[in-house]
Structure 1
Amino acid sequence: MGYLKVSKKKFGQTAILYSLTNDSGITMNVTDLGARIVDLIVPVNGKERNIVLGFDTEQEYHTKDMYFGATIGRVAGRIRNGSFSIDDENYQLPVSPENGHTLHGGEASFEAKIWDAKIEQSSDQVSVIFSYVSPDKENGFPGELNARVSYSLTNKNEWIIDYQAETDKATLYNPTNHVYFNLTGDVTQSIDAHELVVEADRFAVVNEDTTVTGELRSVSETPFDFRQSKTMKQVFETNYEQNSLVNGLDHPFILNHTGFVKPQAIITAPDKELSIEMYTDRPAVVIFTAQFEEGPEIRGKKLVHQGGITLETQVSPGAVEFDGFGDIVLYPETTYQSRTMYKIN
C-alpha cells in the first residue's frame, strides 16, 4: 500500500480546500465551492507543474471567474432563449441580458454553491464525494435534483469524475466539468503549441452567439480535423469562418466512440514531457480555447489570450432543440450516471 494522502484546510470564509496526493507525487486540490478542481500539480523531471487554471482563494473565483474548474449544471452550454419543453409542458428559464440565452444552468448555479463533501479512501485511490440538492424551480428548472459528483485520484495517475443524480420530476440534466488545461504550467504561454487529438469526424456548427445551428459538419478539410495529432495553431492561424467567429474554438465535437478502452482526446505539452488522455461515456466534448478579451491574474501571473483549453464532456448543446443531438431529459424512475477520466502521462 502506498502513501495516498488527503488533507483539508480553509479556502476562504466558507469554502474548504481538499488536497489529494497519490504515490507518484501528483497532487490534486479540489474545493466544495462549485465542486471544482483548483490545482493539478504534476512532477515533471523533478519540478512541479500546475497544469490546470485556478485561483488561490475562494474570493478570487467570485471576483474573477466562477467557471474555472467547476462542476457545471444543471445544463452545460447554452439553451437558446432559455426555453424548452418536456412531455408537452413548456418551461422558461431566466436568460442573460447580453444574448437572451441561458448559459451553464443560469446565474449562480452549481458553480456558485457550497456542496456537501465527504472523503473516501482505498488502497489505490482517494476520493472526495460532493453532493448538492438543487430545489424544484431553481433557476427555472423543474424537479428537486439530488446531484453527486465524485473526484478520485488514483495510483494509475487518473483523475476520475463520476456524476450521479436523481430527480422527483422530469427535468433536464447535462452536467460537465469546466477544467482548463495548460500543460506548460505557465499561464503566460498560449496553448498554440499544444498538440491535440480528437477522435471526432463531425463537429457542431455555431452561430455568432455560439448557440448551435443544428448542422453537424464533417471535420474533413477543415481546421477542426484533429483525428491525427496537430498543434492548436491549426485553429488560431486560419480564416475559416467557424474559427474566426469565436477567435479559436468554442465548439462541440461529436465523438466517434465512447468508453474507457482507448482515449477520445489527447492533449500533449509542447515539450512532449506530459500528456493528458481523456476518456468518457458522453457522446460529445465541447472544446473552448480561453479566448478572453481580458484574462484574469492567476497565481500572480496574467493569463495570456488563449492560455487554456477545456475538454467539457457532455451531450452536445442543442439536444433540446435538434434531433440527432442526443437526449438530456432525466425522469424520476432513472438515475443519471456518467463518468469522465483524465489520465496523466
Structure 2
Amino acid sequence: MANRNALAAPIMLGAMLMTFSGQAIGAEAARAPFGKISTGEAIEAITLKNKNGVSASIITYGATLQSLIAPGRDGKMADIALGFKDAAAYEKNASYFGASVGRYANRIGKGKFTIDGKSYQLALNDNGVAALHGGPKGFDKRVWKVLDVKSGPVASVTFGYTSPDGEEGYPGTLTVTATYSLDENNQLTIDYRAKTDKPTIVNLTNHALFNMAGEGSPEGAMGNVLTIPADYITPVDAELIPTGELRPVEGTPFDFRKPRVVGKDIRDASDPQIVVGRGYDHNFVLNGKSSGDEMHLAGRLEDPASGRVLEVLTNQPGVQFYAGNFIDGTMIGKSNHIYRQGDGIALEPQVFPDSPNKPNFPNARLNPGQEYHHKMAFRLTTSAR
C-alpha cells in the first residue's frame, strides 16, 4: 500500500562472514556498509544466507528488507523484492519498499483517534485526508540500532528503535524490536515486539513489495498468481478508509480463495472498490484465527514460469493486498530498472486499517505492562510445472 502522490542480481555486500568457531554453521550472517543518508549517518546492511543459496539483506534505515533472493524450479536465483541500491536512494524515494512501518501501519481516517477520552491528531500525510504508515517520519524513515547478529542453524539480526512520547503525535514512549531470522527451510521470519509506558495504539508490519518473476522483470508482477484465504474484505470510502462493513468476496474480483492471476480483474471498473482503489489496495479479513504466536496463511504468491512461490504467514487478523497501483515510473530500482504501476505486490499482515475508530474491528490498543507481538514469515518454495 502506498501514498497516492531482466532479473536483478543479488547485491554483493563484500563482508566477512560471522561464524562460531568449532561449530558447524548452517546459515550465516554478514555485515557491510550501505552508504549514508543526508545527515551523514552511516547505514549498514546485514545479509542472512543459508546453505540453499537463499539470502535476505536488511538495512538499518527503516529496518528494511532490501533484498530477498529466491530459487526457481530450475535452481535459477532471482531477487524478488523491490528496492534500491544504497541508503541515499531509500531516503530519496518515499516508497516504503521492504520497510518496517509504524507506529500504525496503514491508514487512520482524518488522522484522529481517542484513548480514554483524550483525542489525538496525527499528521495527514495521505493526500491531506488520512494518517498513513506512522506519519511523515514514521519508523520506515528512522535509523534502527543493530542489537544482535547471529549465525548458526538459524541466522538472525535484531534491530531496535525507541520512539519517544509524542513522536508523530502518538502517546507513550514505545520501545520496539524487529528480528529477522532465516532458517535452512528457506523461511524468513520477522518478529515485531513493542512495549509502552502509556496507553497507545500499535500496528507494525513489513511493507515488502514482491515480484516472483524477479524485481524489475519486463512483464511486471501482474502475471503472478495469488491466493488469499479470506471470505471478506473491509471495503473503503473515497478516502480509502474502511467503512466498517465486512463485505463478502464471493462473486467479486476480490475472491482470491482459489488461485487467481493478479492482473485478471485489476481494471474491472464494474466493481466500485476497484475504481476507488485504482486496483487492489484493500484489507482482507483472514479466515485463520489469531492465537498468540501461532501463525496462519495470509497469502500465497506464485510465478508460474519460474515456479517461485512465496507464502506469507502471520498471527494477525488481516492482510493488506496492494498491487502497486501508485508506483508511477519515477523511481529507479536497484537493478537500474524503472518501477512502474503493477511492478510489485505487497501482502502486509496487520490489524485492520482505522481500527482505533471502528469498535467492531480488532483492537490496536497497547497498555503499559503488555507486549505487542506480531510474528510473520515469508516462506519460499517452488512449484512443479
TM-score, L = length of structure 1: 0.96
Q: Distance in 2 between matches of 1:330 and 1:322?
A: 16
2:115 counterpart of 1:86: yes
Task: Determine helix, strand or coil for the equivalent of 1:111.
Answer: helix
Structure 1: runs of 5 or more not aligned = none
Q: Distance in 1 between matches of 2:117 and 2:186?
A: 46
User: What CA RMSD, in Å, does the superposition of the two structures yield over aligned residues?
Assistant: 1.6
The CA deviation at 1:48 is 2.2
Task: Determine helix, strand or coil for the equivalent of 2:244.
Answer: strand
Give the corresponding residue for 1:16.
44
2:358 counterpart of 1:306: no
In the alignment, residue 300 of structure 2 is paired with which amino acid? I
In the alignment, residue 158 of structure 1 is paired with which amino acid? Q
Count matched residues: 345
2:275 counterpart of 1:244: yes
Task: Determine helix, strand or coil for the equivalent of 2:91.
Answer: helix
Instruction: Indicate if the aligned counterparts of 2:102 and 2:138 stay in contact, CA closer than 8 A.
Output: yes
Instruction: Indicate if the aligned counterparts of 2:174 and 2:196 stay in contact, CA closer than 8 A.
Output: yes
Name which of 240, 243, 258 aligns with 1:228.
258
Name which of 261, 265, 283 aligns with 2:299.
265
2:301 counterpart of 1:278: no
Name which of 124, 127, 130 aligns with 1:101.
130
2:132 counterpart of 1:114: no
Task: Determine helix, strand or coil for the equivalent of 1:263.
Answer: strand
Instruction: Indicate if the aligned counterparts of 1:258 and 1:264 stay in contact, CA closer than 8 A.
Output: no
Give the corresponding residue for 2:70.
42
Give the corresponding residue for 2:248.
218
The CA deviation at 1:241 is 1.3
Give the corresponding residue for 2:174.
145
TM-score, L = length of structure 2: 0.86
Structure 1 residues 23 and 262, CA gap change in structure 2 (3 angstroms): same
Task: Determine helix, strand or coil for the equivalent of 1:214.
Answer: coil
In the alignment, residue 81 of structure 2 is paired with which amino acid? V
Q: Distance in 1 between matches of 2:327 and 2:277?
A: 11
- What's the CA shift string for 1:176-233, capped at 9, x where partnerless? 1100010111423222211111000000101222111112100000000011111112
Q: Distance in 2 between matches of 1:55 and 1:226?
A: 30
Q: Distance in 1 between matches of 2:52 and 2:211?
A: 20
Name which of 306, 323, 329 aligns with 2:359.
323
Query: Identity rate of aligned residues, in percent?
Result: 32
Q: Distance in 1 between matches of 2:288 and 2:207?
A: 21
Instruction: Indicate if the aligned counterparts of 2:327 and 2:339 stay in contact, CA closer than 8 A.
Output: no
Q: Distance in 2 between matches of 1:311 and 1:258?
A: 17
Structure 1 residues 312 and 149, CA gap change in structure 2 (3 angstroms): same
Task: Determine helix, strand or coil for the equivalent of 2:265.
Answer: helix
- What's the CA shift string for 1:211-259, capped at 9, x where partnerless? 1111210000000001111111233141211112222110000000046
Deviates more, 1:40-49 or 1:239-248: 40-49
Q: Distance in 2 between matches of 1:216 and 1:72?
A: 25
Q: Distance in 2 between matches of 1:97 and 1:253?
A: 21
Structure 1 residues 269 and 328, CA gap change in structure 2 (3 angstroms): same
Structure 2: runs of 5 or more not aligned = 1-23, 37-41
The CA deviation at 1:320 is 1.0
